[in-house]
Amino acid sequence: MREPRLGDDIDDFCVRCKRVMNHSIVSVVNGEAAKVRCRTCHSDHDYRHEQPPPPKVDARKQALFNDVLKKVNPEEATAIDEAEIAEEPANDETEAAAAAAPAPTKPKARGKTKK
């Protein structure tokens, strides 16, 4: 296969179109395409060898989040759950009182009158 030249057609993943599309070679470095231009949306970007970019998930943030989850003390979590259970009867009484009260009604919408 011959070396790519400026203006040649090549398939590549377009970052704007989000799919593999036809591109034109804009820049060649060391016998390989360096920059390409999408023939559909006309955006220029580095040649990606038809590979989509990696997802934007930050590995450091995920690692820190996992560390925090590991450090959570299960005894404290059960103590918090027991405190919430103790508060539930008071909530049940207020919910029962709210259920006994009649629901507010909306006024009916008036239609337009013809003249």
E strand or H helix at 25, and its extent? strand 19-29
Q: For the sheet with 44-46, list strands across it.
A: 9-14, 19-29, 32-38, 44-46
Tell me if residue 24 falls in helix, strand or coil: strand
The yes-or-no verdict on residue 18 having pLDDT over 60 is: yes
CA–CA dist 47, 29 (Å, integer): 11
With contact defined as beta carbons under 8 Å apart, do 12 and 50 qualify? yes
At residue 77, the pLDDT reads: 45
Question: Would you kindly state where each structural domain of the chain is located, as residue ranges?
Answer: 9-46, 59-93
What value does the mean pLDDT take over residues 46-62? 82
The Cβ of residue 14 has, within 10 Å, a number of other Cβ atoms equal to 22
Percent of the chain residues topping a pLDDT of 70:
61
Q: How many other CB atoms are there within 10 angstroms of residue 36's CB atom?
A: 27
What does the block give as tokens for 53?
A: 């970019």
One-letter amino acid at 32 equals E
Q: What is the mean pLDDT of the chain?
A: 75
pLDDT in tens, 65-101: 888 888 875 555 444 445 545 554 444 454 555 555 5
Q: Is 88 helix (H, G, I), strand (E, B) or coil?
A: helix
The structure's pTM equals 0.47
